[in-house]
């Protein structure tokens, strides 16, 4: 006779599951689509999604224990080095000539980091596959919208309120496509992964931008290398990013002769590198302390920084935070890349590709701590953590075998 079900419906758990589904739907589906037409989509939607996740975790308590997670963070070398960068940024307010804007920028940085940490602590210990399949769906939808907007020439329309939104939306797609591919490939859905990657590539080529195409290409190179040689790919990605950031003041002296020979001595790239050389040679003492937060951007307006100086994270880190901030950031970046995906090897190629693409975007024109860029980075990290939480066994062969032995009794154990 069939046994009656003893399961009871808990409205609170159902409400938590619904809130979590809505939060992930907003983060994985609505955001990639809305970011193509709204400049501040990442800044607005990310906090809303995190709040929903926090409420859901407060109801069903399915997140990992908070105190052990905090202790692991506080003892992680990457987190400690990143904390030093934030602390040095706060100290630089003492010598920055733009105290008000620099204080606002520091507040945005701390708020974004706090938002990311809150999301990390609120994520459930095990992610449902139904929630994670929303990610490639959202990236696909965002790519289709970007293709449609690119074909219709939305980016070229002057005077529109969403002018520049498509550029930011495409950068978000460049970062989110890698965790989407990592998730699909971890579920052996290679054809679906190929379709998602091709759609994002087409979205970038409808109205091509050199920075975006280069970022996607560099990410693809890191993905291919890591897929072929796991350890070599991780080491190459970590060392390249850390060395470029740590040795940034030397780069203009090495790159300017090449730019002059290839593009000409009066090309914009050669003149920009010449301005960087001048900054390094005229104020060598400032390489130690930096000029303080917000000086790389605001200094162009008042003449402290050459107008044609590079708008890249490599220049801005050293100009604003000096050797202390730059070397601490380089170590944090190196340690983060080396640590990424250690618990889920299947995700490592996607993680390396995302790191490489993000670093390329920062080096080719986004700069240091623009609010939407910080929010985009926090979203990418959050998404990868959710994908990593979805990598767990659905069956436990050893436990099943032990239960069978227990049910069979001594005779079954002897037979085994």
Residue 11 pLDDT grade (very low, low, confident, very high; cuts 50, 70, 90):
confident
Report in angstroms the alpha-carbon separations of 151 from 17, 30, 33, 41, 202.
39, 21, 16, 22, 11
Which of 2-11, 137-146, 390-399 is modeled with the greatest confidence? Answer: 137-146
DSSP label of 342: T
Mean pLDDT of 395-399: 47
- Whether the Cβ atoms of residue 333 and residue 380 lie closer than 8 Å to each other: no
Residue 388: name the closest of 359, 356, 351 by CA: 351
* Percentage of the chain exceeding pLDDT 70: 88
How does pLDDT run across 365-390, given as a tens digit for each residue? 776 667 888 889 999 999 999 999 88
Residue 410 pLDDT grade (very low, low, confident, very high; cuts 50, 70, 90):
very low
Beta bridge partners of 124: 63
Query: Can you spell out the DSSP letters for 63-85?
Result: BPPHHHHHHHHHH-HHHHHHHHH
Residue 406 pLDDT grade (very low, low, confident, very high; cuts 50, 70, 90):
low
- d(Cα 135, Cα 131) in Å, to the nearest integer? 8
Domain ranges of the chain: 12-63+127-207, 74-122+209-373
For 73-108, b/e burial (b = at least 16 CB within 10 A) is eeeeebbebbebbeebbeebbeebebeeebeebbeb
CA R_g for the chain: 24
Neighbours of 357 (CB within 10 A): 27
Q: Name the token pair of 246.
A: 């740590």
How does pLDDT run across 330-359, given as a tens digit for each residue? 999 999 999 886 777 889 999 999 999 999
What is the model's pLDDT at position 7? 54
Output phi, psi for 124, to 5 deg.
-65, 155
How does pLDDT run across 287-326, given as a tens digit for each residue? 888 999 889 888 888 888 888 888 888 998 899 999 999 9
Query: Can you spell out the DSSP letters for 343-386?
Result: T-GGGHHHHHHHHHHHHHHIIIII-S--HHHHHHHHHHHHHHHH
Angle, CA 201 vertex, CA 195 and CA 207 arms, to 5°: 140
What is the model's pLDDT at position 89? 93
Mean pLDDT of 127-142: 93
- d(Cα 302, Cα 315) in Å, to the nearest integer? 18
- d(Cα 112, Cα 195) in Å, to the nearest integer? 32
**Higher pLDDT residue, 28 or 264?**
28
How does pLDDT run across 46-76, given as a tens digit for each residue? 999 999 999 999 888 888 888 888 898 888 9
- Whether the Cβ atoms of residue 78 and residue 332 lie closer than 8 Å to each other: yes
Task: Find all residues with CB under 8 Å of 361, minimum gap 6, and list them.
Answer: 171, 174, 211, 212, 215, 373
Grouping H, G, I as helix, E, B as strand and the rest as coil, residue 124 is strand
Grouping H, G, I as helix, E, B as strand and the rest as coil, residue 151 is helix
- d(Cα 199, Cα 209) in Å, to the nearest integer? 16
Helix locations, 7-76, DSSP H: 11-25, 31-34, 41-60, 66-75
- d(Cα 290, Cα 324) in Å, to the nearest integer? 9
Residue 413 pLDDT grade (very low, low, confident, very high; cuts 50, 70, 90):
very low
What is the model's pLDDT at position 3? 52
Lowest model confidence (mean pLDDT) among 2-6, 26-30, 183-187, 322-326: 2-6
Neighbours of 70 (CB within 10 A): 13
Residue 407 pLDDT grade (very low, low, confident, very high; cuts 50, 70, 90):
low
User: Is the pLDDT reported for residue 405 higher than 90?
Assistant: no
How does pLDDT run across 223-282, given as a tens digit for each residue? 999 999 999 999 999 999 999 999 999 999 998 888 888 888 888 888 888 888 888 888
Helix locations, 158-209, DSSP H: 165-186, 190-206
Angle, CA 34 vertex, CA 31 and CA 39 arms, to 5°: 105
What is the model's pLDDT at position 162? 43
């Amino acid at each position: 006779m069939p046994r009656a079900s003893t399961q009871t419906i808990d409205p609170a758990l159902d409400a938590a599951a619904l809130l979590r589904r809505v939060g992930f739907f907003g983060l994985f589906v609505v955001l990639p689509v809305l970011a193509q037409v709204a400049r501040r989509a990442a800044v607005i939607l990310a906090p809303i999604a995190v709040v929903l996740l926090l409420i859901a975790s407060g109801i069903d308590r399915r997140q990992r224990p908070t105190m052990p997670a905090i202790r692991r963070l506080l003892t992680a070398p990457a987190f400690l080095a990143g904390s030093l960068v934030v602390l040095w940024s706060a100290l630089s307010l003492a010598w920055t000539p733009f105290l008000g804007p620099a204080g606002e920028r520091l507040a945005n940085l701390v708020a974004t980091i706090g938002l990311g940490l809150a999301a990390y602590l609120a994520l459930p210990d095990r992610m449902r596959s139904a929630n994670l399949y929303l990610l490639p769906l959202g990236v696909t939808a965002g790519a289709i919208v970007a293709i449609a907007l690119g074909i219709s020439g939305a980016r070229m329309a002057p005077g529109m309120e969403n002018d520049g939104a498509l550029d930011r939306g495409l950068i978000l797609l460049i970062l989110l496509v890698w965790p989407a591919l990592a998730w699909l490939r971890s579920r052996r859905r290679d054809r679906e992964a190929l379709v998602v990657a091709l759609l994002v590539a087409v979205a970038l080529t409808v109205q091509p931008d050199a920075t975006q195409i280069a970022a996607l290409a560099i990410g693809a190179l890191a993905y291919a290398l890591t897929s072929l040689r796991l350890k070599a790919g991780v080491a190459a990605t970590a060392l390249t990013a850390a060395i470029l950031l740590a040795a940034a003041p030397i780069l203009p002296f090495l790159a300017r002769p090449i730019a002059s020979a290839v593009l000409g001595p009066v090309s914009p790239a050669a003149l920009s590198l010449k301005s960087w050389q001048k900054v390094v040679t005229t104020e060598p003492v400032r390489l130690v302390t930096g000029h303080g937060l917000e000086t790389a951007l605001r200094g162009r307006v008042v003449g402290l920084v050459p107008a044609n100086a590079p708008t890249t994270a490599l220049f801005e880190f050293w100009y604003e935070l000096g050797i202390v901030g730059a070397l601490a950031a380089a170590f944090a970046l190196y340690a983060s890349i080396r640590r990424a995906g250690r618990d889920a090897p299947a995700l490592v190629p996607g993680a390396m590709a995302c790191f490489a693409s993000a670093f390329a975007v920062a080096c080719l024109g986004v700069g240091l701590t623009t609010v939407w860029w910080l929010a985009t980075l926090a979203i990418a990290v959050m998404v990868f953590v959710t994908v990593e939480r979805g990598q767990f066994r659905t069956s436990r062969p050893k436990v099943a075998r032990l239960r069978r032995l227990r049910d069979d009794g001594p005779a079954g154990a002897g037979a085994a």
